[in-house]
Amino acid sequence: MQVVSAREFRANQGKFLNAAKRGESVLLTSRYGSFKITPVTEEDTLMQRICKGLEEVKLMESGKIPSKSAWELLDEL
């Protein structure tokens, strides 16, 4: 896993995006938090991921599924 700062990522975006595309884990850290860079594939479109996430939030809010901490959500990535 590569851990990079936001500054380093901005300076070398192509390098890190290509690494993520090859399947390598790239973790971006900044003052706003940490983010895992992953490519969106044909089978897994961004809109599908957003919709699935919103559905999970609704189910958690209604008590139909247990709530998860931020750490638990990150572990699923």
pLDDT in tens, 62-72: 999 888 887 88
pLDDT at 77: 65
DSSP, collapsed to helix, strand or coil, labels residue 47 as helix
pLDDT at 15: 96
Quick: pLDDT tens for 7-55.
999 999 999 999 999 989 999 999 999 999 988 776 667 778 788 888 9
> Does the structural domain 1-39 have CATH classification 3.40.1620?
yes
Q: Is the dihedral of CA 60, 65, 68, 74 positive or negative?
A: negative
Indicate if the alpha-carbon torsion angle 27, 28, 29, 31 is positive or negative.
negative
Query: Model-level pTM?
Result: 0.53
- Structural domain boundaries in the chain: 1-39, 41-77
DSSP state, residue 67: -
